[in-house]
């Protein structure tokens, strides 16, 4: 991100509807230094999009609890 901004990478792992899935997020500053990060496992869900949305909501809730007000969200490819 540009100077003065922070970026949050979000990633999920989903194999199939019968197995647990997981997610992680990492908040970085413009130098690429990690400010906060977290990971978690989620109960099995029907499809990948469901766990992606669940992970985004979990990430946004965590950032709100950390009082992070303005952030650029990306997946791990960006």
Count the domains in the chain.
1
CA–CA distance, 52 with 64 (Å, rounded to integer): 18
Residue 62 structural domain: 7-73
Residue 42 belongs to a domain: yes
Q: Note the pTM of the prediction, 2 decimals.
A: 0.82
Residue 78 belongs to a domain: no
Residue 38 belongs to a domain: yes
Residue 2 belongs to a domain: no
Residue 69 belongs to a domain: yes
CA–CA distance, 5 with 31 (Å, rounded to integer): 10
Q: What is the pLDDT along the chain (78 residues), one digit of tens a residue?
A: 778 888 888 999 999 988 999 999 999 999 999 999 999 999 999 999 999 999 999 999 999 999 988 777 666 555
């Amino acid at each position: 991100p540009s100077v003065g901004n922070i970026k949050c990478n979000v990633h999920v792992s989903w194999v199939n509807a019968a197995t647990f899935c997981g997610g992680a997020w990492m908040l970085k500053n413009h130098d690429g230094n990690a400010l906060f990060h977290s990971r978690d496992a989620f109960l099995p869900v029907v499809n990948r999009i469901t766990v992606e949305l669940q992970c985004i909501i979990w990430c946004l809730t965590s950032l709100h609890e950390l009082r992070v007000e303005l952030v650029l969200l990306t997946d791990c490819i960006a």
